[in-house]
Amino acid sequence: MALKIIENFDGGFTLEAHAKENLYKLLTSEAFLNQICQNLQCKQVEFTELLFQPVPYSKITPKGMPLEFEQYHESDKYVIINVPPNFMFTAKIFQPSRLCAVYKKLL
């Protein structure tokens, strides 16, 4: 079985307004924000409203994310999380199948 090397992957996507609104409500719910804070051992986080689709690892995307999001991965002030699958289902988002969200640590 040979490995297929992906040179170029379009990670772009568009969410319908209603699906985006539902997803943002879930990602900013107090219970979810508290869960993130508990896992990070910080006091407060804020959803930056930045979402991206994970991309295959390649020479130009070694972290599995679009290049413009690597700055958040490398910063101690931000955290990137996988959007829970049940959030995707509840918001009725089926394409893309996976998303990541960027949160800013406030305290």
Say which residue, 84 or 12, is predicted with more confidence.
84
> CA-to-CA distance for 49 and 36, rounded, in angstroms?
15
Percentage of residues in the chain having pLDDT higher than 90? 74
Domain ranges across the chain = 17-105
Residue 7 has pLDDT above 80, yes or no: no
Q: Which two tokens stand for residue 52?
A: 């991206």
Nearest alpha carbon to residue 33 among 99, 88, 91, 79: 79
Q: Which two tokens stand for residue 70?
A: 């690597």
Residue 4 has pLDDT above 70, yes or no: no
Residue 9 has pLDDT above 80, yes or no: no
Tell me the pLDDT tens digit for each residue of 43-90.
999 999 999 999 888 788 888 899 899 999 999 999 999 999 999 999
